[in-house]
Each structure stands twice: as C-alpha cells, then as structure tokens.
Amino acid sequence: MQIHDAYPYLRVADAKAAIDFYVRVFGATESFRLVEPSGRVGHAELVFGKVTVMLSDEFPEYGIHAPRPGSATTVSIHLHVDDADAQIRKAVEAGAELLRAPQDHFYGERSGSIRDPFGHEWLIGHSIEEVTPEEMQRRYTAMLQR
C-alpha cells in the first residue's frame, strides 16, 4: 500500500473564526466547507501554498475536541514564508500569542513561533542559507557542547 498524501486536520472551537483568521493572516484560500444545520462546520479545506489543511469545529459527542486555551499542544505546523518577521508580526497583530520571537538558527532558517487564537502553534520561518545535513549536525553538536 502506498501513501499518496498527508493532511493536517485541525479541530477548533470556532471554525468560522479560524477560517477567517487563516485566510486573513496566512493568505490561505478556502476550497470548501460543509456546515450542519446548527451552524457547526463539519469539515473545511484551506489551501496554504501547495498544502491542504483540513479543519472542523469541535464535536465532543464524537470525541473531537479543540485545544484548550492556555494549554500546550503537542504539534506545531511549520509555515515556510518569504518573510518570517513580517508574517509573525501580522499574526500577533491579528490576535496570535508570540511564543518565540524570530531569530536566525544554525540550520539555515530565520524563524519564530506563535499560538493562534484557536490554540494551534505555528513555527514560521524563511531560509537564510542552504546548509547540508552534515553541516547542520556539526553546528547542532557544537551548539549543544557549549
């Protein structure tokens, strides 16, 4: 059996607001959404560059829960952008929490991270230099030996 694609699937407490945030802040394009009669979003698909991210509202009756405000999440979504500083600033201005300010890293990327208003963490970065895996390992080892 062969895997053809993998899609992040976000569960949020307010899918309509999350879709608006991701479109306004990250420039995502909404492909479609399915809405139940009560107004909850059962499924939506957003395109971030070449990648589809799926999302839905919470459905506790089916064990589908969003991250709780203020609690840690075990997953971070990495967005590779043209200008990490500007993208992070835009997200924070729109209500995201700054977790780590942008800085240059040994692996050839300038990046920082935010938590969006819906509890999901995003690592946002842009390339500053091409680094081979061997050089990355050398730099990583050197950094840890300080």
Each residue's pLDDT expressed in tens, for the chain with a length of 146 residues: 999 999 999 999 999 999 999 999 999 999 999 999 999 999 999 999 999 999 999 999 999 999 987 788 889 999 999 999 999 999 999 999 999 999 999 999 999 999 999 999 999 999 999 999 999 999 999 999 98
Query: How many domains in the chain?
Result: 2
Looking at the fold, whether 62 and 91 belong to one and the same domain comes out as no
Domain final position from 24, 50, 66: 66
Looking at the fold, whether 61 and 88 belong to one and the same domain comes out as no
Angstrom distance (rounded) from CA 141 to CA 78: 23
A 10 A CB-CB count for 91 gives 25
Name the amino acid, one letter, at 128: I
pTM of the entire predicted model:
0.91
Name the amino acid, one letter, at 61: E
Domain of residue 82, residue span:
68-146
pLDDT for position 74: 85
Looking at the fold, whether 86 and 134 belong to one and the same domain comes out as yes
Q: Which H/E stretch holds residue 25?
A: helix 15-26
Angstrom distance (rounded) from CA 52 to CA 29: 9
Looking at the fold, whether 144 and 83 belong to one and the same domain comes out as yes
- 31 contact partners, CB below 8 Å, separation of at least 6: 44, 45, 46, 47, 52
